[in-house]
Amino acid sequence: MTAFSLNPDQTARCAELRTLAAERLRPLAEKGDPGHVNRPLVAALGELGLLDRLFTSGALDLCLMRESLAYVCTEAETALALQGLGAHPVHAHGTPAQRERWLPQVRKGHAVAAFALSEPGAGSDAAALALAAAPDGASGDWRLTGEKCWISNAPEADFYTVFARTSPDAGARGVTAFLVPADRAGLTGTPLDMLSPHPIGTLVFDAVRVGPDDVLGEVDRGFRVAMTTLNRFRPSVGAFAVGMAQAALDAALTHTAEREAFGGKLKDLQAVGHQIAEMAVRTEAARLMVYAAASAYDAGASGIARRAAMAKLLATETAQYVVDAAVQLHGARALRRGHLLEHLYREVRAPRIYEGASEVQRSIIAKELLG
């Protein structure tokens, strides 16, 4: 297998997953309440074995899952991705006790995870986070005080991977990752009314007690936990974007082949044909870069941060372009509530911001190239 082609088994698995998404997952997604965790949908992902694959397969398989789900049901894709993002630090850095307590429930779709990194004053600049972990006497415990914001699955998750400052004025070197159950005293949350349909909220920590048994990885090494998680998931954000772009492209192909305009089919106008060609070229280029970045991650190649940033940047910017172009080709019908492109137009905007905005990806790429 190369980074530029899929083998027959991979192609067949993608087709099977698109069918499962259409038949099993999309009906559950349509019954969900926007802005809230769709627990039946999460449970179905567990029953189908997809949540287990978050921890047993490589970055490329994760990308193929996210692309396939996004093509058919973005809600299912997002539910899968958020489980992975929130629980991967436990899988990769947790203690045996932490893994035993939470990961079986995540795999089954019975426990909802969340990744709590962003703050009102520290979004893409993760090293600037201010949630304070103050020592609590001689017990080795800390008290978390502060706020997290724009946290997906908050405030309805069952546990949070939380990044807090254990060493003041130490930048990225003074951050520790904690596993914080949602029922911990002093932890409250409020939902935010956002453009995307999945739940996003704020978390308030009012002297929330955490101890050594809650640390993920090492004290003051939490920034590494965050970055290794993001390096794994950033290419798959690109895969999510590619799935949406392909759905928009296919919708445009169908519409322009059927729509009568100016005495013929819309697709026969040269301007339309050139637009479709540009959409297809950009989508395929983004797909190949995503696959290449994920394959490099799986192979343990060098330059993972740069490759992951490139894949996320190109794919998310491409998806925004392709969805917008598809809307333009459809005209006003694409803006009706409930139309596929109206849905994709709302969904496609956020990936250019979360897990590092496009400008941050460019900074990562420049830093890697320029040293």
Q: What is the pLDDT of residues 175-195, one digit of tens each?
A: 999 999 999 999 999 999 988
Digit-coded pLDDT (tens) for 218-227: 999 999 999 9
CATH number at residue 298: 1.20.140.10
- Among 189, 220, 251, residue at a domain's last position: 220
pLDDT band at 262 (very low <50, low <70, confident <90, very high): confident
The model's confidence at residue 323, banded by pLDDT at 50, 70 and 90, is: very high
Pair (183, 216) in one structural domain: yes
364, 232: one domain? yes
For the record, the structure tokens of 228 come out as: 């290794």
Q: Is residue 3 in a domain?
A: no
Q: Per the domain annotation, does 336 fall within a domain?
A: yes
Are residues 302 and 175 located together in one domain of the fold? Answer: no
Does residue 364 form part of some domain? yes
State how many domains the chain has: 3
Q: Is residue 175 part of a domain?
A: yes
Q: Which of 162, 186, 220 is the last residue of a domain?
A: 220
Looking at the domain assignment, is residue 159 inside a domain? yes
Question: Mean pLDDT lowest for which of 70-79, 81-90, 126-135, 358-367?
Answer: 126-135
Task: Compute the average pLDDT of residues 84-98.
Answer: 97
Higher confidence at residue 307 or residue 169?
307
Answer with the one of 168, 202, 220 that is the final residue of a domain. Answer: 220
Q: 156 and 248 share a domain?
A: no
Question: Both 140 and 259 in a single domain?
Answer: no
* Same domain for 234 and 195: no
* Amino acid letter, 53: R
- The pLDDT score that the predictor gives to residue 137 is 77
Q: For residues 131 and 255, state if they share a domain.
A: no
Which pTM value belongs to this model? 0.93
* Cβ proximity of 119 and 147 under 8 Å: yes
Do 359 and 320 fall within a single domain? yes
Owning domain of residue 290:
224-370
Catalytic residues: 355
Same domain, yes or no, for 235 and 199?
no
Is 244 found in the same domain as 211? no
Convert the pLDDT of each residue in 227-259 to its tens digit.
Answer: 999 888 989 999 999 999 999 999 999 999 999
User: Do residues 137 and 118 both lie within one domain?
Assistant: yes
Mean confidence (pLDDT) of the chain: 94
Structure token digits, residue 80: 């899968």
**The pLDDT value given to residue 1:** 45
**CATH code at position 137:** 2.40.110.10
Residue 2 included in any domain: no
- Higher-scoring residue by pLDDT: 86, 197: 86
Residue 3 has pLDDT above 70, yes or no: no
Q: What is the mean pLDDT of residues 160-165?
A: 97
